[in-house]
Amino acid sequence: MSYAAAIVAMAGLFGLAGHAAAARAADIPHVRVLATGGTIAGAQPSATDYGYRSGAYDVNSLLKAVPNLDQLADITGEQVANIGSQDMNDALWLELARRVDAALADPGIDGVLITHGTDTLEETSYFLSLVTKSDEPVVMVGSMRPATAVSADGPGNLYNGVAVAADARARGKGTLVVLNDVIHYARNVVKTDTTSVATFASVNRGPAGLVHTGKIRWFEPMDRKVGPASEFSVGRLSTLPRVDILYAHANMSADLIDAAVKNGAKGLVIAGVGDGNMTTPALDALTRAAKSGIVVVRSTRLPSGIVLRNNEVNDDEKGFVVSGELNPAKSRVLLQLALTKTTDPVRIQKMFYEY
């Protein structure tokens, strides 16, 4: 579905039928569910064949399919979009962040749960963890199998996601991602497998915790700035600066780097080989770009590890930024937000160490 069509599909605020009045009276947490689409809302013509459509079900139908959800929290649902997350974009990120802030500014809401496709979940969650202006829990869930599949994983992820969003101990941890019984910090979570229900991993670090049938065990604390501690916000932003990612490989030419510069990129992230390396022609092109005021971040195409500053590349001399632990997709998110504040690579490097 196109973004325009998805916006038409926005349903606005509505309460869930039936249980709302009774549940509100009870002393249980209040969770707002913001739905954006993805496989978790997907349907397929046959339960055992390939082929399905993301975002076929609305938030109401999704929640009704999960038994005993109303015992965990009083839930209200809001349809923000209904798309495959490969179509997620800057405008929808800004809209979603505003809806999260608005929900959490309501004293009657204790936490937010967002349903989202898994393809770009790692980017949206990191974006929200940097711009959301509340300490209250923000949790994202998706699923790897559509709602109509044999052993659909969506209902279990929703149940666990609501449990985490309703848990006061989730406050102050930034946006969390819950799938397959694992709780991840947005900063660390990466999709690692095209189809496995165990696709999400906290790369370089341990998970935030585990959640099984709604019962939670918290593990690692978050040591980076998130939520209100972050200097970023969506404020009055109507767009985000253009940042392109370039994938390094043997024999890489300067052509795509030059094209990105020509097309107006304000920042470039290189998914480098090894420790953020690239061919000499690519390095020369990025050096030219950095000298012209474009901010260049060296990340890696490898699934884990830390990109080191001034190791094989003299970043100080070239005016580059290194991504540290952040993969190219997350580096792009942080660089977009960083560029709303400054184009100074020294300041931006500090942000990569802090967020």
Contact 59/174 with Cβ under 8 angstroms?
A: no
Closer of 119 and 136 to ligand DGL (Cβ) = 119
Nearest distance from C-beta of residue 54 to ligand DGL, angstroms: 4
Closer CB to ligand DGL, 87 or 101, in the complex: 87
Considering the complex, what minimum distance in angstroms separates the CB of residue 51 from ligand DGL?
12
Number of Cβ within 10 Å of residue 187's Cβ equals 27
Which CB atom, from 159 or from 320, has the smaller least distance to ligand DGL? 159
CB of 10 to ligand DGL, least distance (A): 17
- Residue 199 Cβ vs ligand DGL, minimum distance, rounded to whole Å: 8
Closest distance of CB 40 from ligand DGL, Å:
6
Q: Are 335 and 267 in contact (CB under 8 A)?
A: yes
Q: Which is nearer to ligand DGL, 54 or 125 (CB)?
A: 54
Q: How far is CA 196 from CA 45, 109, 118, 286, in A?
A: 21, 33, 11, 36
Residue number, 44 or 134, with CB nearest to ligand DGL:
44
Q: CA-to-CA distance for 265 and 245, rounded, in angstroms?
A: 10
Where along the sequence are the contacts to ligand DGL (CB under 6 A)? 38-39, 54, 84-86, 117-119, 142, 144
Q: Which residues pair with 175 in a beta bridge?
A: 138
Closest residue by Cα to residue 38 from 16, 68, 6: 6
Sign of CA dihedral 207, 212, 218, 223: positive
The catalytic site residues sit at 39
CB contact at 8 A, 253 and 281? yes
Helices and strands per DSSP (H, E), number in the chain: 12, 15
**Shortest Cβ 197–ligand DGL spacing (Å):** 10
Name which of 176 and 257 has its Cβ closer to ligand DGL: 176
Strands 267-272 and 138-141: unpaired
**List of long-range contacts for 222-226, beta carbons under 8 Å, 24+ apart:** 222/173, 222/174, 222/185, 222/187, 224/187, 224/354, 224/355, 225/354, 225/355, 226/129, 226/130, 226/172, 226/173, 226/174, 226/175, 226/186, 226/187, 226/355
